[in-house]
A and B are shown apart, each in its own frame.
Chain A
């Protein structure tokens, strides 16, 4: 079995106190607990402080372009659907630059897990507002307060067709580990939105801010009820943050529905050589 050391690359360069530390450890723990090792997991990183985890986490990985981690992961998965593929990216990457990809990946129910570091700011570019920033949030790019209302990642993904949507808080590592594990174990498109303070550039959404506003879903919560899930997801519009699996349902994944993949992964398939089958269509 792999251990933390096996998954550890370079020492992280995150700011002291950054939520990324907790998420980084949670991801490694989740992978270990699932019995994976660096050779058996695919990871695609976005661009940002969170994406910099590429150098700190060992895996078969792509450090992608900003916003494009999800399509890379979809391609990775269709070529080798037996391998778990995770996306590690920020809120700007997932909900801003790559918003269109997110929506359509939900529709496709591709069996990948998207782990989003949601801190409301662009850290790596030194503090501009992200699509999840609360309306009125003052940042370098919105000095008088952001005009747009924030994206609701939970409602957006649930209504777009994601079959697993969870939320956790970077300050609660144990819960975050369990959400990431459940996301990877889920067959289908899974999103884990992790609320995360940026200690350097976001003085509003602090640890204290979240601790006062997060709460765990209770055991009787009906996570497989679409309407209840949508309703629950709307609570974040009022700055109330439910933690747990907001929505989960069973549906055939994208690769489940490809007869080409019935007997083998695409990468291990035997080459097709009967070109006459194609030629005859044109005679």
Chain B
């Protein structure tokens, strides 16, 4: 079973909150969800749409059709009617606008209910939720429970006032449209699930990993990490600083990381551009840092509230000079939690910047994950701080021995001492330096330090690099998709649809993006197969990186760069055209 519910209306009237409530009712009723919000870079006056794809099974893609379309204004209907099918239901108020087309109409008197019960315009949403739950055979008590939780601080009176609107919407459906009720949301047993966005997943991963400083400047679509962590900071013992600009953001985090606490920053492409100099600084000083980048279409201000994977190469090659860094790009919320927590370990183990890449599609869409997944992950996760020396005893470091912060080692990693440790001192130096941290411009130490830093990635590739995950049978499939990051769920859905049409495919999904293990990755490719690159950008940036790192060029490309996520249907269509 799966269906899509979409609610739309004018921006500024609570569509976002309403969508999350619907998603939570679905998960609390035993289902899985994936949702997506569409909104302009405005606070008032634009069009907002929130769609929820509900499924009996784990889901991480959208559906091309809409089963229940809730129109709080006429624009919603006009914008989304092309996705209706003959069995779709459209909820609207004929007092507000008329629909001429012959469709299944569910007329709810929003206006009249608001007037009769003396409600605010924003309560149209509450009526719409009541009507939707009624229409989908859902449990009205679940909805009332969520509404009560939402208004718990405002007292019984406010809760009861809101309940009336839920009931009115619900009753309007039950009274007039009992013949059209779809039993899609009938409550069933299911595990506890979290309804989270990719940004929430980064925040949760950061708390699990014991991150203690998060610094950011608001920038869509990364800002909810800042607001999540800011609201949790006292509870979890973290310090969240909203600094004056992204340059201060990253340099604050470098300062706190130097002092010994796990530190991260978050931004989108434009903010990251301002951070580039300090990425290089983190590289030469070998101060660990986690950088979260939620991409949006650029260049410059671009399209702030839409999606793109356009900053991959910029991230991989960010920062002046040659220094090592690691780039990860989770494919969904579960991977976001895992790889975020791993990023903090890698940053500490290899003492370098680790970039975790997301995009608006992953950062702002909710996907339900089971609580069991989180619990298991927490149970198994180990904080690995690498060669950090926490408490020095004379046994480890006799006082007579000089501590060398940038000691030449075989694995490229030098012991890192927490500042304040008695009996020692050292400097983290932005200039090229000797093993003890003092500035040097001599040729020999320069070569030694460049080579030492480079060896860290050799060690990483041997110890911690993960090969891409393969979905489907790579040996037997002639068609092989290649993608990275947030397109994972979409390509997997395309594979399912192709399978129904008797086309087998395999899918190589990269989430450890840079550096790549040349020989191992190369072995996945052979000349005889049809490889198709799937990316949400216009250059096929991962394809270029793959070619650079392995010499293998992918010629077939599905690229989308209009600000919208690629759909499974586009991929299927592309494959069918290829076959003809």
Stretch at the interface among B120-128, B204-212, B447-455, B541-549: B204-212
A271 to B245, CA, bound (A): 29
A125 adjacent to chain B (CB < 8 Å): no
Q: Mark B273-284, 1 if CB is under 8 A from A, else 0.
A: 000011001000
Whether A189 is near chain B, meaning CB under 8 Å from some CB there, is no
Query: Per a CB cutoff under 8 Å, which of A54, A72, A266 touches B212?
Result: A266
Cβ of A39 and Cβ of B423 under 8 Å apart?
yes
B417 and chain A: residue at smallest CB distance: A60
Q: Specify which of B196, B254, B371, B374 lies most central, judged by the most chain A CB atoms within 10 Å of its CB.
A: B254
Q: For A70, list chain B residues within 8 Å (CB).
A: 248
A150 at the interface (CB under 8 A from B): no
Residues of A within 8 A of B27 (CB): 283
Q: Contact size class for A?
A: 35 or more
User: In the bound complex, how far is the Cα of B258 from the Cα of A39, in angstroms?
Assistant: 14
Complex CA gap A260/B235 in Å reads 8
Stretch at the interface among A77-85, A131-139, A206-214: A77-85
The answer to whether B418 and A267 have CB atoms under 8 Å apart is yes
Cβ of A154 under 8 Å from chain B: no
Candidates A80, A269, A277, A279; contact of B194 at CB < 8 Å:
A279
Give the size of the chain B interface in residues (CB under 8 angstroms). 68
Which of A79, A103, A275 is the one whose CB lies under 8 Å from B208?
A275
Contacts A71-B251, A74-B255, A278-B204; is A79 near B193 (CB within 8 Å)? no
Say whether, besides A76-B256, A79-B256, A64 and B439 are in contact (CB < 8 Å): no
Contact in complex: A55, B438 (CB < 8 Å): yes
Instruction: Collect the chain B residues with CB atoms within 8 Å of residue A39's CB.
Output: 420-425
Q: Does B238 reach chain A (CB closer than 8 Å)? A: yes
* Docked complex Cα distance between A76 and B195 (Å): 35
Question: Count the A-B residue pairs with Cβ separation under 8 angstroms: how many?
Answer: 193
List the B residue with the shortest CB-CB distance to A100: B244
Closest to A259 in B: B234
Query: What residues of chain A lie closer than 8 Å to B4, measured between beta carbons?
Result: none
A130 on interface, CB distance cutoff 8 Å: no
Min CB distance B484 to A, Å, is 26
A9 to B253, CA, bound (A): 27
**Chain B residue contacts of A188, Cβ below 8 A:** none
The CA-CA distance from A40 to B420 in the complex, in Å, is 5
Interface string of B338-349 (1 = CB under 8 A from A): 000000000000
The yes or no answer to A156 lying at the interface (CB within 8 A) is no
B427 to chain A: closest residue by CB: A61
**Nearest CB of B to A281, in Å:** 8
User: Closest residue of chain B to A83, judged by CB?
Assistant: B420
How far apart sit A272 and B254, CA to CA, in the bound complex (Å)?
22
B569 within 8 A of A: no
B427 near A75 with CB under 8 A, answer: no
B241 within 8 A of A: yes
The answer on a CB contact under 8 Å between B210 and A104 is: no
User: With A75-B251, A100-B248, A279-B371 given, is the CB distance from A269 to B378 under 8 Å?
Assistant: no
Question: Is A240 an interface residue, CB under 8 A from the partner?
Answer: no
**A101 x B438 contact (CB < 8 A):** no
Q: How far is the CA of A136 from the CA of B208 in the complex (A)?
A: 57
Task: Using A260-B238, A267-B261, A282-B194 as known contacts, say yes or no to A62 and B255 having CB atoms under 8 A apart.
Answer: yes
Q: What does the 1/0 interface line of B241-271 toward A look like (CB < 8 Å)?
A: 1011101110111111111110100000000
CB of B200 within 8 A of chain A? yes
Bound: A63/B430 CA distance, A = 6
Residue from the list B234, B243, B259, B420 in contact with A260, Cβ < 8 A = B234
B258 CB, min distance to chain A CBs, angstroms: 6
Complex A-B: 13 CB contacts under 8 Å? A71-B251, A72-B254, A74-B252, A75-B251, A75-B253, A76-B256, A260-B234, A267-B260, A270-B237, A272-B207, A275-B375, A279-B374, A283-B27
With contacts A58-B425, A272-B238 known, what are 8 further pairs, Cβ within 8 A? A60-B427, A62-B285, A62-B428, A63-B427, A64-B281, A75-B258, A278-B204, A279-B375
| Residues of chain A whose beta carbon lies under 8 Å from any beta carbon of chain B | 9-10, 38-40, 42, 44, 47, 52, 54-55, 58-65, 67-68, 70-80, 83, 100-101, 103-104, 258-261, 266-267, 269-273, 275, 277-279, 282-283
B residues near A (Cβ < 8 Å) are 24, 27-28, 192-196, 200, 204, 207-208, 210, 212-213, 215, 232-239, 241, 243-245, 247-249, 251-261, 263, 277-278, 281, 285, 371, 374-375, 378, 383, 418-431, 438-439
